[in-house]
Chains A and B, each alone.
Chain A
Amino acid sequence: DIKDVGHKYYLELTLEDVLDKDSTVNCTAEVLYYLGNKNMAPDVQFTLEGELKSTEEADHVFYTRIRNLEKELVAENIPDSHGHVPPELEPLHLLAWVASGYLVWQNSTENTQLQLAQIKHVKQVRRSDEYLQFDYVVLLHEMVSQEIIPWEMTVLWHPRDGVQVTRASRQPGH
């Protein structure tokens, strides 16, 4: 409890690679939830004890494939009602998951627990620069209230620069 500032949490966690359960990295973090002001995202400081695996090759394959598509990629309902994700759309699913992590961070308080529930819609937007752009509508599930909240977000990605969420806006309820 930090007087007049907020609540700080000290965490020790293990990061597990979703695609390779045996690959783990330990991590320590400090998370500060600010008092009162609901528009401030919690402050996060972290230290990785080890290195994350390189994904250079897979990144390059994905980047090249999307750049070379004849028509802009469009897809809906990922995963579908039965939890299925077509293999070629799995990178888009993972990208949304990372990008929605940013939305979760920006919108979390001590009384929320947000998760990506589903990608309702994703559309590739071709750009003249080197970035890939995907406009997503995602559904976030908030565990405490049990609400499903639609969010629009614009995601830029490049193998060198990683993920950026350049625009995000919450939509009215589902």
Chain B
Amino acid sequence: QLDFWINPSAPALPVDVRIPAVSVQPVKAFLESQGIEYSILIEDLQDVLDKEKQDMAESAQRERSTSFDFGSYHTLDDIYAELDHLASEYSFVEKIQIGESYEKRPLYALKFSTGGSGRPAIWLDAGIHSREWVTQASALWIANQIASGYGTDSFITSLLDKMDLFLLPVANPDGFVYTHTSNRMWRKTRSKNPGSVCYGVDPNRNWDAGFGGPGASSKPCSDSYHGPSANSEVEVKSVADFITNHGNFKAFLTLHSYSQLLMYPYGYKCTRPDDYAELESLGRAAANAIKSVYGTTFQVGPICSTIYQASGGSIDWAYDQGIKYSFAFELRDTGRYGFLLPATQIVPAATETWMGLRRIMEHV
């Protein structure tokens, strides 16, 4: 039961030992009976440990109150405040408004650009399905990673020196607010469906790619309701118009959860895209990059055969627009916590996802 912190080694050298409370008296008695001198260095070790724990919590608290805690979940207002902060701290980061949601919330994205005009660009969005909280949280971490890495990280620096990056961390702000205020499991937009008591359209069935086909529901109460027509949801139309008007996007990347999958087109049909071989190989490379961080395995493949047939999806639309490198990620986990991924896993999930995204961006 005695725990030696300095072991006996040679005569006349001191020995330090931790004694469990119940043994203190007997040990003292023994030492005295043997004529061994002792002094008490720490009266109550538990006290010391408790104080240390408290100190650590307080200092973590202080740290959190001055800078954004990427390891916890935030409200829309806090996320938008952090976008302002990043834009103000870095000259090459700009907050732009892509459009407005149904309930009139701004759709804010970050534009990363070190110059040029009409440079080829990469698109990254998160949170199109509002309950997938690890995605909005990861997008913030990734934004910070890219912003703070310019000038120090050679990949980020060379990437931004030739391309622009657009990051929309909350693609469905109305749904996101609803998951905070009313229903944590809300997925869709919050548009009113005429003639129905049910709200919302699945924004990832609303794109103009095989719209209304298999894998989407025509019922407003369904969580995969495709909506009355393609781009009926302002959240979807705003992004589609932005990308079309920009005209020079080379990659379209979107984050979802959960299932740990890395997918490329098509979802609306089960036939292979023309660039199947290249996308499959790049997907595998990205999945290996993800795995190299914590061993997390992502399955790779086209949407239709990997998850299910689903029409009206964003990466199918992007691919058919000519944006070859269109990938959808489904982040952690595989069902133990599902949508309710513990906050402690945000940074690990973001870190590994970033390695996958990087691998794709390197190739673009």
Are B223 and A18 touching (Cβ within 8 A)?
no
A52 to B340, CA, bound (A): 28
**Interface residue from A80, A115, A117 paired with B185 (Cβ < 8 Å):** A117
**What is the interface of chain A mostly: helix, strand, loop, or mixed?**
loop
Question: Among B180, B339, B344, which residue has its beta carbon within 8 angstroms of that of A117?
Answer: B339
The yes or no answer to B226 lying at the interface (CB within 8 A) is no
Most buried by B among A77, A83, A84, A139: A83
Chain A positions 124-174 with a Cβ under 8 Å from a chain B Cβ: 139, 141, 143-148, 173-174
Q: List 13 A-B contacts (CB under 8 A).
A: A79-B337, A79-B340, A81-B73, A82-B343, A83-B340, A83-B342, A83-B343, A83-B345, A117-B185, A143-B307, A145-B217, A148-B223, A173-B221
Closest chain-A Cβ to B211's Cβ sits at a distance in Å of 17
Grouping DSSP codes into helix (H, G, I), strand (E, B) and loop, the B interface class, with mixed when no group exceeds half, is loop
A139 to B184, CA, bound (A): 11
Expressed in whole angstroms, the minimum distance between the Cβ of A134 and any Cβ of chain B is: 20
Cβ–Cβ contact A146 & B341, under 8 A: no
Q: How far is the CB of B263 from chain A (nearest CB, A)?
A: 14
Contact in complex: A117, B340 (CB < 8 Å): yes
A83 touches B337 (CB 8 A): yes
Interface of chain B residues 76 through 91 with chain A (CB within 8 A)? none
State how many residues of chain B have any CB contact under 8 Å with chain A. Answer: 29
Taking a contact as CB atoms closer than 8 A, the residue among B180, B183, B338, B342 that contacts A174 in the complex is B183
**Interface-central residue, B185, B217, B343, by most chain A CB under 10 Å:** B185
Contact between chains at B224 and A118 (CB < 8 Å)? no
Chain A-chain B contacts (Cβ-Cβ < 8 Å), number: 60
Among B73, B185, B222, B338, point to the contact of A82 (Cβ < 8 A): B73
Bound-state CA distance A116–B336 (Å) is: 8
What CA separation (Å) do A87 and B146 show in the bound complex? 36
CB nearest to B224 among chain A residues: A146
The answer on a CB contact under 8 Å between B338 and A117 is yes
Q: Give how many A residues have a beta carbon under 8 Å from the other chain's beta carbons.
A: 22
Residues B173-194 near A (CB distance < 8 A): 179-180, 183-185, 187
- Residues of A near B345 (CB, < 8 A) are 83
- Contact digits for A23-38, partner B, Cβ 8 Å, 1 yes 0 no: 0000000000000000
State in angstroms the CA–CA spacing of A118 and B185 once bound together.
9
CB contacts (< 8 Å) of B308 on chain A: these are 143-144
The answer for the CA separation of A80 and B224 in the assembled complex, in Å, is 25
B322 sits at the interface (CB 8 A): no
B73 and A115 within 8 A (CB): no
Closest residue of A by beta carbon distance from B215: A144
Complex Cα spacing A144 to B217, Å: 11
Q: In the bound complex, what is the Cα–Cα distance between A87 and B209 (angstroms)?
A: 46
Cβ-defined partner of B72 (8 Å) among A18, A82, A141: A82
Smallest CB gap from A145: residue in B: B224
Nearest CB on A from B209, distance (A): 18
Residues in B whose Cβ lies below 8 Å from that of A79: 337, 340, 342
Q: A82-B72, A147-B222 are in contact. Are A141 and B338 (CB under 8 A)?
A: yes
Chain B neighbourhood of A174, CB < 8 A: 183, 185
Residues 323-362 of chain B: 1 if any A CB is under 8 Å from the residue's CB, otherwise 0?
A: 0000000000001111111111100000000000000000
Chain A neighbourhood of B341, CB < 8 A: 83
Q: Is the CB of A84 within 8 A of B342?
A: yes
* B185→A148 contact, CB < 8 A: yes
Task: Pick the contact of A139: B185, B202, B335 (CB < 8 A).
Answer: B185
The B-contacting residues of A in range 84-98, CB under 8 angstroms, are 84
Contact B187 A115 (CB under 8 A): no
Contacts A117-B185, A146-B202, A148-B185; A81 near B340 (Cβ below 8 A): yes
Complex Cα distance, B340 from A80, in Å, reads 7
Of chain A, the residue at the smallest CB distance from B198 is A173
A80 to B133, CA, bound (A): 13
Known: A82-B343, A83-B343. 15 other contacts (CB 8 A): A18-B336, A77-B184, A79-B337, A80-B340, A81-B133, A81-B179, A81-B340, A83-B344, A83-B345, A115-B338, A117-B340, A146-B223, A147-B222, A174-B183, A174-B185
